Amino acid sequence: MNRAFTSDDIIKLITDRDKSKHLIIEESDIADTNLQGCDLTNITFKLCSFENCNLTGADFSESSISGTLFRECPMHACKFVNSDMTEAIFRDIDLSDSDISGANLYAAVLEGANLDGIIIDENTKWYRQVPPESGAFIAWKCCSELRVVQLLVPREARRVSATRETCRCDKAKVLSIKSIDETISYDWAQSTVDPDFYYERGKWVEPANGFEPDRWKDSSRGIHFFMEREQCIAYQTV
């Protein structure tokens, strides 16, 4: 069961702590609290939730917010330098002008978030788009009966990804369809999502229901693919 902190409790816990020691707060609900500009460094918030908290300018550097939910929280100009932001949920949150240098955002949810002016560096993980920004490239997807489809994504195709290995595009050509061990070739493969959608060797395909250009809408419209063959197989066989 999650622990619900009062506003006074969480402020006292954070401000009175020994900042040389790592603080762990697990499965806790934090609501209606003003933490504007607060020093939240060197803290693990594991599977917590922040609701209706003012976090503007708060500093989460060197902290972990893995799996934490933020709802109705102003978070303009926050610092997440070297933070573990994996699987954190920032849906519709204002993160403008925040610093995520060195942070790991794998599987973080950024749909609807305001990311204007966000600061990244070469060590920021899983914020940049996975597929090449331009040019043609080879991609992979796994279909029903574990048939592995090799795709050519042309240079004119739109392509996006969010914060995982999964990517989407609006056009591709089927180059080959093979079994996982590559010993059998097929002429066609059936989509695992839409039983009426087929990939046929040598033919171009476009998503039946159109393409969603917003990269942060991860499980949305488009031809879903991976950049590596092993990734698509692992995803389908988990």
A 10 A CB-CB count for 180 gives 16
pLDDT score for 34: 96
Quick one: pLDDT at residue 5? 80
Instruction: Name the helix (H) or strand (E) containing 137.
Output: strand 137-143
DSSP H helical ranges for the chain: 7-15, 229-237
Residue ranges per domain, the chain? Answer: 1-127, 137-237
CATH of range 1-127; options 3.40.50.80, 1.10.150.120, 2.160.20.80, 3.40.50.10420: 2.160.20.80
Model pLDDT for residues 163-187, shown as the tens digit of each residue: 999 999 999 999 999 999 999 999 9
Give the per-residue pLDDT at 19.
86
pLDDT in tens, 115-149: 999 999 999 999 999 999 999 999 999 999 999 99
Low-confidence ranges of the chain (pLDDT < 50): 1
CA distance 128 to 83: 16
pLDDT reported for residue 3: 75
Identify the pLDDT of residue 44: 97
> Is-contact 53 35, C-beta < 8 A?
yes
Q: How much is the pLDDT for 6? A: 85
What pLDDT is recorded for position 2?
65
Q: What is the DSSP string of 40-109?
A: -TTEEEES-EEES-B-TT-B-TT-B-TT-EEES---TT-B-TT-B-TT-B-TT-B-TT-B-TT-B-TT-B
User: How far apart are the two ends of the chain, measured CA to CA in Å?
Assistant: 29
What is the pLDDT, as a whole number, of residue 1? 47
